[in-house]
C-alpha cells in the first residue's frame, strides 16, 4: 500500500501565523517541536553569530521552503 501526499496523517512543519516576528519560521519550528519559540530564536541567533552569517542564509531558505499554515 502506497501513501499519497493527501493521505499523510503525521505532523507537518508550517510557518506560524501567531508566533511570528519576521516570517514565522522560528515560531513554526517551536510549535512543531513543542518548544518555546523564543528559545528557537535565541539558538538561531547564536548559530548565525558563530557561523559568520550562515544562519541568515538558512533562515531565508527556510522562509522560502516551509509553507504557510493553511
How deeply is 49 buried, as exposed, middle or buried, from its count of CB atoms within 10 A (0-12, 13-18, 19+)?
A: exposed
Per-residue pLDDT of the chain (70 residues; tens, 9 = 90+): 455 555 557 889 998 888 888 888 999 999 999 999 999 999 999 999 999 889 899 999 999 999 998 8
Measured distance CA(58)–CA(41) in Å, rounded: 13
pTM: 0.77
pLDDT at position 18: 87
Amino acid at each position: 500500500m502506497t501513501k499519497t501526499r493527501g493521505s499523510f496523517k503525521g505532523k507537518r512543519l508550517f510557518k506560524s501565523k501567531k508566533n511570528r516576528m519576521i516570517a514565522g519560521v522560528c515560531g513554526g519550528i517551536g510549535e512543531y517541536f513543542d518548544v518555546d519559540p523564543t528559545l528557537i530564536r535565541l539558538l538561531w541567533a547564536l548559530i548565525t553569530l558563530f557561523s559568520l552569517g550562515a544562519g541568515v542564509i538558512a533562515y531565508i531558505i527556510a522562509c522560502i521552503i516551509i509553507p504557510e499554515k493553511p
